Structure 1
Amino acid sequence: MGTDSRERMVRSAAYLFRERGYSGTGFRDVIAHSGAPRGSIYHHFPGGKVQLAEEAVRYAGEFLNAGIAAAVEGGDAASAVDAFVGWWRQVLIRSEFRAGCPVVAVTVESHEDAPQLATATAAAFGRWQDTLATGLGNAGVPDERAERLATLIVAAVEGATILCRAHRDVRPLDEVVAELKEMARAAAGDPA
């Protein structure tokens, strides 16, 4: 029962949370999706579904953050917005608007009896905001404004993703992105 099975289960949980939500995803689903041996899920996640969800959120957060960090390095202010949005747009289209953000799914379904899930989701959102703020700052946006704008980008893109799923159309995301890019350029003093 190696770490390969464990990693597959964590990735599968993140994937399934995107489409089914936290409550709609069970251990049986994760085992089937990952192809891991049945007993291995209890071996690797003795803390149960909460432990698996916490690790899936951490994985999803780090995965997206790595993409943001690579894209904002040395870019302009608008590229910080593009870095966060590009992946979501692909996820929406490829899933035919069935998939959203696994971090959001766990956030909205977290229960008071599992405070570690709220901590994990807050950490993921915080990393994205910090990375975006750093990218905006490197592009010339003053630090305090960069932090506020990074928060707005995360909140607006997550909200737009939900609207896209509801409307089964990427237009809400595209419209939000256009506005965010204008704001980012203006904040950096770049001509539009």
Structure 2
Amino acid sequence: MASDSRERMVRSAAYLFRERGYSGTGFRDVIAHSGAPRGSIYHHFPGGKVQLAQEAVRYAGEFLDSGIRAAMEGGDPAAAVDAFVGWWRSVLVRSEFRAGCPVVAVTVESHDEAPQLADAAAAVFARWEDTLATGLGNAGVPDDRATRLARLIVAAVEGATILCRAHRDVRPLDDVVAELKELTRDAAEDS
């Protein structure tokens, strides 16, 4: 039961960071959202909000990474783009454009307060890039190009997600996806 409370709090923190950001989410919010006992947050996260945020960033990273891996099993390089984008698209629409990436939220708000959070976010972005690059490489894209394309995918999708929130419309994401899919297919065909 204790680990269930801990996991619920980590998931809740990731969810709340998506909508409220790092600075807009407090322990009380996480406790209320997760339904965990009040004192348990201090028990499970003696390092405070920074420790909780590190865990939430890792959780969000692993969650999305597993979806990317599963989608790329067929060897289609465009599937990597679809896998990375599909989840963000549904999050944007379901939240009526209030939610974005919890990893980005923690990254942009925490540099001065807790530089270790930027390190946790960098590790997640690197993992996504590595997973995408591996999938692109398996589809025949040369390693150096696969690495650059993977970074472009992550950067473009994260940026498009922010544009979607600003415009309250998924068209920026759809436009970016169309271009990224074309780039990945061309890269695979050129090799």
> Unpaired runs of 5+ in structure 2?
none
Q: Which residue matches 2:102?
A: 102
Tell whether 2:20 aligns with 1:6: no
- 8 A Cα contact 1:74 1:138, kept in partner: no
* 3-state SS in 1 of match to 2:74: coil
| SS at structure 2 position matched to 1:189 | helix
Using the size of structure 1 for normalisation, the TM-score is 0.97
Distance 2:47 2:127 in 1: 25
Task: State the distance in 1 between where 2:57 and 2:110 align.
Answer: 12
Q: CA deviation at 1:80?
A: 1.1
Q: How does 1:64-143 map to 2 (within 5 A)?
A: 64-143=64-143
Q: For residue 170 of structure 2, what is the aligned residue in structure 1?
A: 170
Gaps of at least 5 residues in structure 1 are none
Number of the residue aligned with 2:160? 160
Deviates more, 1:156-165 or 1:1-10: 1-10
**Superimposed CA distance per residue, residues 2-34 of structure 1 (whole angstroms, 9 cap, x where no aligned partner):** 100000000000000000000000000000000
Partners of 1:96 and 1:124 lie apart in 2 by 25
Task: Tell me the alpha carbon deviations over residues 130-161 of structure 1, each in whole angstroms, 9 at most, x when there is no partner.
Answer: 00000111111111000000000000000000
User: C-alpha distance in 2, partners of 1:105/1:145?
Assistant: 29
Alignment partners' CA distance in 1, 2:68 and 2:77: 13
Q: Could you say which residue in structure 2 is the equivalent of 1:45? A: 45
On the 8 A contact 1:45/1:51 being kept in 2, the answer is yes
SS of 2:140's partner is coil
Mapped partners of 2:127, 2:66: distance in 1: 10
TM-score by length of 2: 0.97
Amino acid in the other structure paired with 1:182: E
Q: Secondary structure at the match of 1:43?
A: helix
Q: Which amino acid aligns with 1:79?
A: A
Give the Cα separation in 1 of the matches to 2:111 and 2:184.
Answer: 35
Greater Cα shift, 133-142 or 8-17: 133-142
Q: Which residue of 1 aligns with 2:29?
A: 29
Number of aligned residue pairs:
190
| Greater than 3 Å deviation, 4+ residue runs | none
- Once residues 111 and 75 of structure 1 are traced to their aligned partners in structure 2, the CA distance between those partners, rounded to angstroms, is 37
- Any conservation in 2 of the 1:110–1:117 contact (CA below 8 Å)? yes
- Do the aligned residues in 2 keep the contact of 1:74 with 1:139 (CA within 8 Å)? no
Give the superposition deviation at 1:164.
0.3
User: What are the Cα deviations for residues 59-107 of structure 1, in whole angstroms up to 9, with x where unaligned?
Assistant: 0000000000111123211111111000000000010000000000000
